[in-house]
Copies of this chain bind each other. A is one copy, B any other.
Amino acid sequence: MKRITIYDVAKEADVSLATVSRVINDSRVVREDTRQKVKEVIERLGYKPNAVAQGLALSKTTTVSIVMSEKLLAYNAKILNGMMDVAHIYNYNIMFYTTSKGISKMQDVIESVIKSRVDGMILFNDNFTQEEMDVLNEYKIPMVVVGSRFEGERHDHVGNVYVDFEKLAYDLVKDCFAKGIDDIALMEDKLNLSMMNQMKKGISRAFEEEGKTFDGYLSYNDTYRTSYEFYSDYLKDHKPNRLNIAFRDSQAIAILNAAREHGYSIPEDLQIITVLDDKYLPMMRPTISAYNIPEYDMGAIAMRVLTKMLVAQDGDKLEKNIEIQAEPIERGSTIHYEVKEEAA
């Protein structure tokens, strides 16, 4: 069961190992007939180059790591798929790391990432502290932060692929004002705190521009059950807000179920819009409006940016910061008004 090595191939093909190395690396200096001979032997022996040895020899592992929190994993399958596909196209392997509260802290992950000498990494925003970022910065590992706008210091080795949630929220609220709605609630989502903050900022900015103050931030726990109970409770001594902004599906569904059970109808009494779309939203009755965030693309772009960073020479200018556009999708949980665009 001994794994066969480049030596075995060389001996069998009666050439030196350098030649074998050349053919497996597609060097063009090797004569056609010897190339064929070597290839035949490789095939016959079933030789597979040892990537570990290659990595050591080249100081380059052609693997990049992706690290995200376990909690977010369930919501980011598409983004992950985008990353995986692009990584595969560029022949990068993926070292996958998750962080979880009890078991595996970001610190451990960073330690592992450094030891395994990956060429670069992708980090999900909301998943690291400034301290942790500092460690990473010491090692100057090329990385791209994905999700929301990265608000830390911009080093040359970090890129950012993001949705501008501040702007999204701002635009949404401005739009509501134009429709005469200013009774707005934003449901907290503890899973995405920095995104949450950016949303809050955007909403507040819109309010302030009208000389108003936003006070519709509803803070509670982060599961469906607790959201549902919270909102059921809330409705006992509040009327529902006219527009309710939820971040994820389960919050939106919690509002929907609780409101209906309190005799309210949607969208007449209250409207609901979710930020992150999801296949479950159109399964609800009524269907729930959301934003179309091209998650797969976002992952794909993030990985592509990273691969570009990895091959870039010093001095190459490349766009490491890319904003992803999110478009509203109107469904049954919001009322459609005439679009107020002036230009055709």
Partner of A52, one of B56, B70, B88: B56
Contact (Cβ within 8 A) B94 A96: yes
Is A42 interfacial (CB-CB < 8 Å)?
no
In the complex the two chains form, what is the Cα distance from A250 to B51 in whole Å? Answer: 41
> Which residue, A78, A95, A253, has most C-beta atoms of chain B within 10 A?
A95
**Within the complex, what minimum Cβ distance (angstroms) separates A164 from chain B?**
25
Contact (Cβ within 8 A) B61 A52: yes
In the complex the two chains form, what is the Cα distance from A73 to B75 in whole Å? Answer: 10
List the B side residues contacting A61 at CB < 8 Å.
Answer: 52
Q: Chain A contact residues (Cβ within 8 angstroms of B): what range? A: 35 or more
Contact (Cβ within 8 A) A48 B104: no
In the complex the two chains form, what is the Cα distance from A254 to B284 in whole Å? Answer: 10
Contact (Cβ within 8 A) A52 B116: yes
Contact (Cβ within 8 A) A279 B257: no
Contact (Cβ within 8 A) A104 B117: no
Is A30 interfacial (CB-CB < 8 Å)?
no
**Within the complex, what minimum Cβ distance (angstroms) separates A337 from chain B?**
27
Is A111 interfacial (CB-CB < 8 Å)?
yes
Q: Which residue of B lies closest to A80 (CB)?
A: B73
Contact (Cβ within 8 A) A283 B94: no
> Which residue, A100, A112, A116, has most C-beta atoms of chain B within 10 A?
A116
**Within the complex, what minimum Cβ distance (angstroms) separates A214 from chain B?**
28
Contact (Cβ within 8 A) A95 B93: yes
Q: A46-80: which residues lie under 8 A (CB-CB) from chain B? A: 46, 48-53, 55-56, 61, 63, 66, 70, 73-74, 77-78, 80
List the B side residues contacting A224 at CB < 8 Å.
Answer: 279, 282-283
Contact (Cβ within 8 A) A111 B283: no
Is A103 interfacial (CB-CB < 8 Å)?
yes
**Within the complex, what minimum Cβ distance (angstroms) separates A326 from chain B?**
20
In the complex the two chains form, what is the Cα distance from A55 to B61 in whole Å? Answer: 12
Q: Which residue of B lies closest to A114 (CB)?
A: B48
Partner of A77, one of B50, B73, B104: B73
Partner of A51, one of B80, B89, B115, B257: B115
Is A34 interfacial (CB-CB < 8 Å)?
no
In the complex the two chains form, what is the Cα distance from A46 to B135 in whole Å? Answer: 11
List the B side residues contacting A70 at CB < 8 Å.
Answer: 81, 84-85
Residue numbers of A with Cβ under 8 A of B are 1, 46, 48-53, 55-56, 61, 63, 66, 70, 73-74, 77-78, 80-81, 84-85, 88-89, 93-98, 100, 103-104, 108, 111-112, 114-117, 138, 140, 224, 249-250, 253-254, 257, 279-280, 282-283, 285
Top 10 closest A-B pairs, CB basis? A96-B96, A74-B77, A88-B104, A51-B115, A84-B98, A73-B77, A52-B55, A70-B81, A51-B116, A85-B103
